[in-house]
Chains A and B, each alone.
Chain A
Amino acid sequence: NAGVTQTPKFQVLKTGQSMTLQCAQDMNHEYMSWYRQDPGMGLRLIHYSVGAGITDQGEVPNGYNVSRSTTEDFPLRLLSAAPSQTSVYFCASSTGRVREQYFGPGTRLTVT
């Protein structure tokens, strides 16, 4: 049981490049979310999903796309990277039971 895994751990992009941050969980959780963490701002919700085929926007969705074709995977796509997207990205998953939240180790992204 690996929990929540994220790849890559570090990434450097140039402005305008696209890429996908991968997130997978092996706990059969229906809920998955993406957050970004910027200095002094805590974590902010980008997109979330309540099950395969269902996604919705969070607080800061602009510049990001998501899809959820399986229960296990929830990739985050940067369409055209901008320096403002330099951040640490966390994926999280949970069940319908309010208490349980599991975070991945994070991806540190730098856009130059």
Chain B
Amino acid sequence: AQKITQTQPGMFVQEKEAVTLDCTYDTSDQSYGLFWYKQPSSGEMIFLIYQGSYDEQNATEGRYSLNFQKARKSANLVISASQLGDSAMYFCAMRLNQGGKLIFGQGTELSVKP
């Protein structure tokens, strides 16, 4: 069964420090995509970063990087130099090549302390 697991319900990080949010996935498909979304208190879903299953390099988007370990089926999000505006819910999601469907994890609430 396809599944996304985020084991950290809540995380705290000091401003300007780096933080890693964990995500593991389960699928038997060879072709899939992994996403991270940010959901601030205003509620919208903001796309952060994407990693394809065949991508050899880890994805990076500004302060966000995705630590992709295919053999371990993990896709951790690393946020460098945390900012107060990074305080939000973070969701890991997996897309299979079946009509654009996404499977989401339960989310991690990140709080950045000044």
A-side residues, CB < 8 A to B, are 31-33, 35, 40-45, 48-50, 56, 58, 88, 90, 92-94, 98-99, 101, 103, 105-106, 108
Contact partner of B52 (CB less than 8 A), chosen from A45, A99, A103, is A99
Taking residues whose C-beta sits less than 8 angstroms from the other chain, chain B's interface range is 20 to 34
Is there an interface contact between B33 and A45, defined as CB atoms closer than 8 Å?
Answer: no
- List the 4 closest pairs (A to B, CB-CB), nearest first: A31-B100, A42-B104, A103-B45, A50-B99
Bits for B34-50, please: 1 = Cβ < 8 Å to A, else 0: 01010000011101001
Q: Complex Cα distance A44/B91, Å?
A: 12
Interface string of B20-59 (1 = CB under 8 A from A): 0000000000001101010000011101001010000000
State whether B33 touches A99 (Cβ < 8 A).
Answer: yes
Contact with A along B73-114 (1 / 0, CB 8 A): 000000000000000000101010101111111110000000
Contact of A40 among B44, B47, B106 (CB under 8 A): B106
Q: Which residues of A contact B101 (CB under 8 A)?
A: 33, 45, 48, 58
Residues of chain B touching chain A, judged by Cβ–Cβ distance below 8 Å, are 4, 9, 32-33, 35, 37, 43-45, 47, 50, 52, 91, 93, 95, 97, 99-107
Partner of B106, one of A41, A45, A99: A41
CB of A78 to closest CB in B, whole Å: 20
**CB <8 Å contact, B104 and A43:** yes
Q: How far is the CA of A40 from the CA of B91 in the complex (A)?
A: 11
